[in-house]
Structure 1
Amino acid sequence: MTETRPARDRLRELLDAVLDEGHRRLDDMAGGAHSSPYHFARQLSAGAGEPPVAMRRRVMLERAAWQLRQGATVTDVAFAAGYESVDGFSRAFSSAFGRPPSQPATGSHWLPAPNGIHFHPPTSLWVHAKEATMNPLTEQLVQHDLDDTAELIDRAKQLSDEDYRVVRLPGNTVLSWDGEETSVAAVLEHHVWAKEVWVASIEGGEIPARAGDEPAELRARHEVIAPRWLAIVRDIDRRGAWDDRLVDALCEPPESFQLGSVVAHVLTFGAHRRLMARHLLRSAGVEVDHGDPIDWLRRRTGVTP
């Protein structure tokens, strides 16, 4: 009997050919997958729901958006993304994100995708996670939390280190086991740390190292954990596993949690910390919006009242 390879493996090969740094044209992609351009485009479109050239362009723009946030110049990012001119890149970027690349970013660096193929920072790592659309309300709650967190950390960059760390809420405690959260730095760091710990618990990992809390470092931590958290919640929703139990070995002693309650816990205390961060930022003289999901969704979809 002739052994056949799983269709998923072939799709992985097609994706690798699309996202290879050296494959900028359809002919290059097809050659890398040992296929004709016609059959390559047909197979990839059927398997991933997106034409190969469009997929590569989108993911490269996602990477460009992330690189710009890290301080790269528009010129460097444009040529790294395969564009022959900065003007051409700027037009494509503005069309995709609704703003020029020179304008400060808000929200996620991901663009809408039918297949869950996105650029995942901090390295040039191409990840294919079978991304199923969640219940729309759950999707909006989770995505709003992630986008709003990024926005608040970026706003905190306007503060001096002293204003960032000064005690503004003496004795303030959100959860008894987390200790006091009395400053902008403490509130935002605890907010990101909570996702890092819960992701480690659900994935069965060790307690993660607690990295720096400077706004730039905190933003980098958030960029890493946000897509992992989103993928976890989407997987729970896809499997209908809201009632499944998680035995959290990171607790001492180990404790059991319902997955649905974990997501609700993260969203509840995340919303609380984001509102606290807004209050603290305003008290430090930083202008922030209300964090209203209605306004966020209007900006994200381009729909105005």
Structure 2
Amino acid sequence: MTVPTDEPPSGRDRLRELLDAVLDEDSTRLADMADRAHSSPFHFSRRLSRDTGESPVALRRRVLLERAAWQIGQGSSVTDAAFAAGYESVEGFIRAFTRAFGHPPGATTAGSGRWLPAPNGVHFHPPIHLWVEGNPRSRPAMDLTALQIHHDVDDTALLIRLAAELPEEDYRKVWSPGRTVLTWDGPEESIAATLEHLVRSKEVWLASIEGSDFPARGFDDPASLMSRHEEAGARWIAAVDDMGRRDAWGDRLIDALCDPPESFLLGGVVAHVLTYAAHRRQAVRHMLRSSGVEVGHGDPLEWLQNRNERRGDTP
């Protein structure tokens, strides 16, 4: 990796040299970094920590995790990304990735955010460069919004898969007569109706956020719902990540799809979707159990612990 610079070829950018030493593919240890920078490990670590607010080892680990997230989003396997980032085991990489990003590597999409908290604004920039934020902002070590968004999308997919195993009669059976979550959505008395509203909620809000036409209602059989969910889920993750990256939670959306048009804070939209998605997922669980289907609690703690094995991210 190299750091783009506007310095003339004859000039010497010492910070760039130090960063290049940290991120060289062969600089796996502090001693390796210092040797490349023609410095002692003590003075090398002291200078870089002073200039960047981050130790050489921590900076390298963070930037390589950012690169791994980008690689996975581009289609790389978790195993390949783990070893490219210098981890000796895939399990260790998955634990480090999940702690850093708030979701396991298997939940990474092409639109997912790939920048971690940095006191210096230095980040990985594809394909092989760094990006330095002009005004870096401190971000939490675990992004709780990202965790909830990924959990909601993944848990919804699980419920649709379980519903697909039901007989059609049970899938469309009225288990909760008269149950209505939001009056403008209408009744949600069956597994089919509740799952459809769960998916459609994201489709409608995405149309408002993206400024597109009101979406036509798709089919509600499990196969169609899964296809709709995969498409809307990926866009929803990307949209919320963009809000977080721009700190746009207080931006106001003028929703022309409402009649008359209304305005909403983006943070409020995300909270709205998460609130009713959680309610609907638990309602589907109750109806699945009534149909004789074994289904877990939908607990984010269990999801973080079990999702890697379920998705085959461990070797």
Q: TM-score range by the shorter chain?
A: 0.5 to 0.7
Distance 1:235 1:56 in 2: 18
TM-score (ref. length: structure 2): 0.58
Letter in 1 for 2:278: A
- Match of residue 192 from structure 1: 199
Could you say which structure has the greater relative contact order, defined with CA pairs below 8 angstroms and 6 or more residues apart? 2
Note if 1:291 corresponds to 2:286.
no
Are residues 112 and 213 of structure 1, via their aligned partners in 2, closer, same or farther at CA, if it must alter by over 3 Å? closer
For residues 134-164 of structure 1, give each alpha carbon's deviation from its aligned partner in whole angstroms, at most 9, with x where no partner exists.
Answer: 7521111111101100000000011111110
* Runs of 4+ residues deviating >3 angstroms: 46-51, 54-58, 128-135
Task: Give the unaligned 5+ runs of structure 1.
Answer: 1-45, 63-94, 97-107, 119-127
Deviation at 1:300, TM superposition (A): 3.5
- Match of residue 75 from structure 2: 59
Letter in 1 for 2:227: A
For residues 179-218 of structure 1, give each alpha carbon's deviation from its aligned partner in whole angstroms, at most 9, with x where no partner exists.
Answer: 0000000000000000000001000001112111111110
Contact 2:150/2:237 (8 A) holds in 1: yes
Distance 1:47 1:109 in 2: 16
Query: SS of the residue aligned with 2:106?
Result: coil
TM-score (ref. length: structure 1): 0.60
Note if 1:111 corresponds to 2:106.
yes
Distance 2:246 2:73 in 1: 31
Matches within 5 A, 1:257-296: 257-296=264-303
Of 239, 250, 253, 2:246 maps to 239
Aligned residues: 208
For residues 49-101 of structure 1, give each alpha carbon's deviation from its aligned partner in whole angstroms, at most 9, with x where no partner exists.
Answer: 648xx948971659xxxxxxxxxxxxxxxxxxxxxxxxxxxxxxxx79xxxxx
Are residues 48 and 285 of structure 1, via their aligned partners in 2, closer, same or farther at CA, if it must alter by over 3 Å? closer
Matches within 5 A, 1:88-237: 111=106, 118=110, 131-132=114-115, 135=140, 136-237=143-244
For residues 257-291 of structure 1, give each alpha carbon's deviation from its aligned partner in whole angstroms, at most 9, with x where no partner exists.
Answer: 01100000000000000000000010011110011
Q: Percent identity?
A: 51
Are residues 205 and 181 of structure 1, via their aligned partners in 2, closer, same or farther at CA, if it must alter by over 3 Å? same
Are residues 57 and 267 of structure 1, via their aligned partners in 2, closer, same or farther at CA, if it must alter by over 3 Å? closer
Distance 1:252 1:274 in 2: 29
Distance 1:294 1:47 in 2: 26
Task: Give the unaligned 5+ runs of structure 2.
Answer: 1-62, 79-89, 92-102, 117-138, 310-315
Query: SS of the residue aligned with 2:254?
Result: strand
Letter in 2 for 1:204: G
Q: CA RMSD, aligned part only?
A: 3.6
Distance 1:160 1:198 in 2: 31
Letter in 2 for 1:160: P
Deviation at 1:111, TM superposition (A): 2.8
Distance 1:56 1:179 in 2: 40
Of 235, 250, 261, 1:254 maps to 261
Deviation at 1:299, TM superposition (A): 1.7
Are residues 294 and 206 of structure 1, via their aligned partners in 2, closer, same or farther at CA, if it must alter by over 3 Å? same
